[in-house]
Structure 1
Amino acid sequence: MDGARIYAENSIRKRSEQMNYLRLASRLDAVVARLDTQAKMSTISKSMGSIVKSLESSLTTGNLQKMSETMDQFEKQFVNMEVQAEFMESSMAGSTSLSTPEGDVNSLMQQVADDYGLEVSVGLPQAAGHAIAAASKSNEKVDEDDLSRRLAELKARG
């Protein structure tokens, strides 16, 4: 039992490490996305400056075709900026979505015990004796009987 608990603790610790590395990778990706967005925004700012100058010269000369082309360029730049902003928002929203539930050691031990039909009763939320009895009955009948028995146990505890 102690060996199983140590193994479960190590497994949970490694899973926590993995989740921490994933969080770090997500944060780094968010920083990269911010820097990329900032670089693109500076490029867009320069482009907008040239577009404004071009539009200003078109207005003074009254050339409608050149004005239309300038407005088309402006719209393309604006659409690109919106797409970048959406990407940035989605990447930042994804960077904070990871979390680890409590009680991992006991739930992992119970899951392994259930998978292999072992009886584990020390400090776990429910007895695993039903797993051994369930092996000898038919699936449909066992599921119904098992659920009824577990419900009765829960009522007796409460």
Structure 2
Amino acid sequence: MGSKSSKDTLDDTLFNLRFAGKTLIKESDRSQKEEKIEKDKAKRALEKGLIDNARIAAENAIRKKNEALNYLRLSSKLDAVASKIMSASRTEAMTRQFSQVIPQMNRAMKSMNLENISETMGQFEKCFENLDVASGYVSESLNQTTTVSTPRDQVDNLLGMIASEHNIEVRGQLGEAPLGISAKEIEESNKIDVQKLK
């Protein structure tokens, strides 16, 4: 058995990167489902007046939301790395093409044969077009943020949102939610953030 060529190894790496990215998206979806379960637990705890239990469930919900976003960010980074590898591979192929065309150009210039010069210039133009396409692949990197503990204001905001959605009275038991922001606005903002990362 012979060793794998660098092209096969590169293809395997790209496949593995893309597979890992899809796996991370599935993990993100799972975390979003777990977030919803924790929100429901917080709601039930609020209805029963169990504020401490509601806080724990709200902390878990926020942690799951952050996990989902981090999985999406990491998936995006893997996709960016795969794009960079593809771009590097294309650039390497372009370098090989140029190394073949340049000697032809030198021979055509020495002979001053207009037909050969024209043909070689066509090859150069094709190489430049391919190079433009290859360098057109631009990837952006996202800053991955991870939090170890959930800020209390986020927990209180989530509990306030759950309480207002389900008409549960918890005034005085939670920190005050930001003024002027309704539970619906917070929920819509959260949905938009998650959708942008998909």
TM-score interval, smaller chain: 0.5 to 0.7
Match of 1:120 in 2: 170
Deviations 1:120-143 (A, max 9, x none): 332332499xx9xxxxxxxxxxxx
Given that 1:44 and 1:77 are in contact with CA atoms closer than 8 Å, whether structure 2 keeps it comes out as: yes
Larger radius of gyration: 1
Deviations along 1:47-100, whole A, 9 cap, x unmatched?
A: 001111111111112222332232233223223323332323xx2x2x316668
Match of 2:122 among 72, 77, 88: 72
**Cα distance, 1:22 vs structure 2:** 1.9
Q: Percent of counterpart pairs with the same letter?
A: 34
TM-score relative to the length of structure 1: 0.64
How many aligned positions are there? 125
Q: Which residue of 2 aligns with 1:96?
A: 142
Worse-matched range after superposition: 78-87 or 98-107: 98-107
1:75–1:119 CA distance, 2 compared to 1 (3 A):
farther
In structure 2, stretches of 5+ residues that fail to align are 1-50, 183-198
Taking only aligned residues, the RMSD between alpha carbons, in angstroms, comes to: 2.9
The match for 2:135 is 85
Alpha-carbon distance, 1:28 to partner: 1.9
Q: TM-score, normalised by structure 2?
A: 0.53
Contact 2:70 2:144 survives alignment (8 Å): no
Show the 5 A alignment for 1:18-29.
18-29=68-79
